[in-house]
Amino acid sequence: MLLDTCALLWLSHQQENLSSTVLKKIDAAPVVYISSITGLEIGLKYKSGKLALPVPPRMWFEAILEHHNIFVIEIDLEIYYDSLKSCFFSKIFGIKQPSTGPKKHFDIQELLWLFPGPSW
């Protein structure tokens, strides 16, 4: 089973947003996954003030994964780079993707403000 970011947040803090059927399916699933992009989304929500957490996001994320025995599916760099074409990232970083020609790869330093060190 693959959970999206909202499902993970609801599972961890607002289980009333999940039906009893969904909770039973999560409990019965042999393996539960989330995408690694969920970490980015949680970091973005936290940094923007839209998500309050009792501890820094990294600590919260690791504790929730361990508590619920959830595994992370890594997304490769090509998927990350392709995501930069999306409206969301283009607005945040002002990236204009040409319709033809080589891809413009962003500098990872552009994202480091989201995760400033090991206690993020």
Tell me the per-residue pLDDT of 5-61, one tens digit each, with 9 for 90 and over: 989 999 988 888 888 998 899 999 999 999 888 988 998 889 889 989 999 888 999
Q: Is the pTM of this model over 0.85?
A: no
Tell me the per-residue pLDDT of 25-34, one tens digit each, with 9 for 90 and over: 999 999 999 9
Number of domains in the chain: 1
SS3 content of the chain, % helix, strand, coil (to 5): 55, 10, 40
To the nearest 10 degrees (0 to 180), the angle between helices 57-68 and 37-48 is 140
Residue 71: which pLDDT band, with cuts at 50, 70 and 90? very high
Evaluate whether residue 120 is within a structural domain: no
Contact 89, 83 (CB under 8 A): yes
Evaluate whether residue 55 is within a structural domain: yes
Tell me the β-bridge partners of 70: 32
Domain that holds residue 9: 2-114
